[in-house]
Amino acid sequence: MEKTLVILKPCCLQRGLIGEVIHRFERKGLQLCGMKMMQLTDDILREHYAHLVEKPFFKRIKDSMEASPVIVCCWKGIDAVQVVRAMAGPTNGRQAPPGTIRGDYSMSVQENIVHASDSVETAAIEMARFFNNDEVFEFNQYQLEFLYANDEL
């Protein structure tokens, strides 16, 4: 099964949407394997958004992501990266369809509630950036047989 990173952004925390967002991922059937609150620093943001550092809007990203602590989560499931991205919706909240996290809770490109890894490879890199090995847990999720067909596991 895949693991993916989700960051609940400062706007999510400030608007009191933490429980709602986590609830959606749990109800979908994803397994929470790690979660912690942290304050992002300039160094980690420059590493995480290295592909955007030279863009004129990077300061906006940095200011937004340092506005308050964030919550980083590791979610696990079959096709977890794709499932989380579909649930999050397009980056621009104004263009995200209703029913997606961003479509229901965001009116912004930046203040769009969550960051979600965009590929399995990126997820592995991002997980290593935000979690130590002892902060991500492997444990039996007893409801698996009710989430997937027996030939999917």
Of 23, 48, 51, 115, which is the active-site residue?
115
The candidate with the shortest Cα–Cα distance to 30, out of 103, 112, 123, 106, is: 123
What is the total residue count of the chain?
Answer: 153
Q: Which two tokens stand for residue 42?
A: 């300039």
Transcribe 34-89 into DSSP letters. EEEEE---HHHHHHHTGGGTTSTTHHHHHHHHTSS-EEEEEEEETTHHHHHHHHH-
**What residues contact 27, with CB distance under 8 A and at least 6 apart?**
none
Tell me whether residue 23 is one of the annotated catalytic residues: no
Instruction: Name 35's bridge partners.
Output: 73
Q: Where in the sequence numbering do the catalytic residues fall?
A: 115
